[in-house]
């Protein structure tokens, strides 16, 4: 089968098209003929071995695919440790989900990782209450575009989007944000206070660095910042627990694989709710571009440039 392999860690340049033997499904696994592959920021960290879960070489990156089983069932799946950048992939049965009629490949993949991430951040980390203000950093990205829509659908009082260009800010407003501000602002604390007219209740952050530091400083008493990535590849400052106490602040992290350790089928519930919202016309996936599998390097370069919007896909047929 055609695949993309990493034999040395690094940037987009280490993604190499190769021919590999077809994978074989073991007990409790499903072999999938891949129709589209989702591209995520986590993949870029996986390729350079800077992800939360260490990578091992040689590596076929990619954690999500949509396609068909040998019985012809259309499914979307989270993979275990990679293997997605290929024409065929093996996924655990426990993380393989049927795709309802009316849900296209882009939407299925968008809801699987980005949608579930936004759902968990707002429900489990932020415990969003109606009327509260929500800041969505990187609001034109895969998670951001869905988080803006979910926050509004679930009754947020004011949604403040941050993005780096006029086009991205316009997209966030189109999706329901009440205001969109420049993510490149020198003083994000001041920008957020001005945008909300007071301190903010909830911040969803996947940027890191000073964006995180200044967002924490903008939180209201009992405000919550949910941290779920570091696209800027800069760590925030260490948190002083005296300040957390002094401002009644909650700072939480979220790594999607941990959702599967929760009692009950939380991930399945999230995905079902997201698909239902899509089919009801209340939520939509935003296309970010489709690349040939052989040009996975180009997809990573685009994603790391932080100029993309929505969801990026790879086509294994090209």
Q: Tell me how far apart the terminal alpha carbons of the chain are, to the nearest angstrom.
A: 12
103 pLDDT more than 90: yes
Closest by CA to 193, choosing from 132, 129, 133, is 133
User: Phi and psi dihedrals of 254, rounded to 5?
Assistant: -145, 125
Residue 253: band (very low, low, confident or very high) from pLDDT cuts 50, 70, 90: very high
Q: Per-residue pLDDT for 162 more than 90?
A: yes
CB 189 within 8 A of CB 218: yes
CA distance 133 to 151: 9
pLDDT at 243 over 80: yes
| 175 pLDDT tier (thresholds 50, 70, 90) | very high
CA distance 38 to 110: 8
Distance CA 124, CA 126 (A): 6
The answer to which of 99-103, 190-194, 257-261, 302-306 has the lowest mean pLDDT is: 302-306
Pairing of strands 133-136, 200-205: parallel
Where does the pLDDT of residue 240 fall: very low under 50, low under 70, confident under 90, or very high at 90 and above?
confident
- What are the tokens at 177? 């944000």
Question: Which letter does DSSP use for residue 6 in this model?
Answer: B
The answer to whether the beta carbons of residues 248 and 239 sit under 8 Å apart is no
Cα within 13 Å of Cα(199), Cβ side: 16
What is the pLDDT, as a whole number, of residue 72? 95
DSSP string of 240-275, one letter each residue: -HHHHHHTT-EEEE--GGGGGGSSS-HHHHHHHHHH
Mean pLDDT of the chain: 94
What is the pLDDT at residue 192? Answer: 98
Q: How many CB atoms lie within 10 A of CB 42?
A: 19
- DSSP assignment of 115-142 equals IHHHHHIIIIIS---TT-EEEETTTTBH
pLDDT at 55 over 90: no
Task: Tell whether the model's pLDDT for residue 268 goes beyond 90.
Answer: yes
Interval 176-201 mean pLDDT? 97
Backbone angles phi, psi at 212, to 5 degrees: -65, -50
**pLDDT value for 233:** 72
Write down the pLDDT at residue 230.
75
Mean pLDDT of 258-265: 91
CA distance 127 to 144: 17
Task: Measure the CA angle with vertex 167, ends 164 and 170; round to 5°.
Answer: 100
Q: Where are the alpha helices (DSSP H) in the chain?
A: 41-48, 105-109, 116-120, 142-153, 166-174, 188-196, 209-216, 241-246, 266-279, 296-304
Q: How far is CA 59 from CA 65, 67, 202, 306, in A?
A: 16, 21, 37, 24
In terms of pLDDT, which residue wins out, 64 or 305? 64
Q: What is the pTM of this model?
A: 0.91
Question: In this predicted structure, what is the pLDDT of residue 170?
Answer: 98
């Amino acid at each position: 089968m055609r695949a993309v392999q990493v034999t040395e860690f690094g940037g987009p340049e280490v993604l190499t098209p190769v021919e590999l033997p077809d994978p074989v499904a073991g007990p409790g696994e499903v072999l999938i003929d891949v129709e589209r592959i989702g591209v995520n920021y986590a993949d870029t960290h996986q390729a350079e071995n800077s992800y939360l879960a260490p990578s091992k070489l040689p590596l076929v990156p990619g954690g999500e695919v949509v396609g068909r089983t040998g019985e012809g069932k259309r499914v979307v799946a989270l993979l275990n440790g990679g293997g997605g950048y290929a024409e065929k992939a093996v996924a655990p049965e426990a993380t393989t989900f049927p795709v309802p009629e009316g849900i296209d490949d882009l939407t299925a993949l968008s809801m699987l990782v980005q949608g579930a991430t936004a759902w968990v951040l707002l429900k489990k980390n932020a415990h969003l209450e109606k009327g509260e203000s929500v800041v969505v950093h990187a609001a034109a990205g895969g998670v951001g575009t869905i988080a803006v829509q979910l926050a509004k659908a679930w009754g947020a009082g004011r949604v403040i989007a941050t993005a780096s260009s006029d086009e991205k800010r316009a997209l966030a407003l189109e999706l329901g944000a009440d205001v969109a501000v420049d993510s490149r602002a020198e003083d994000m604390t001041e920008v957020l206070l001005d945008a909300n007219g007071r301190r903010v209740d909830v911040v969803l952050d996947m940027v890191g660095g000073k964006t995180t530091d200044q967002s924490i400083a903008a939180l209201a008493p009992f405000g919550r910042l949910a941290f779920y990535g570091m696209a800027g590849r800069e760590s925030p400052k260490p948190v002083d627990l005296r300040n957390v106490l002094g401002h009644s602040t909650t700072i939480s992290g979220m790594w999607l694989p941990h959702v599967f350790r929760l009692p009950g089928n939380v991930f399945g519930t999230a995905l079902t709710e997201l698909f239902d919202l899509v089919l009801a016309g209340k939520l939509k996936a935003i296309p970010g571009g489709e690349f040939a599998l052989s040009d996975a390097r180009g997809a990573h370069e685009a994603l790391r440039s932080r100029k993309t919007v929505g969801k990026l896909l790879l086509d294994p047929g090209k």
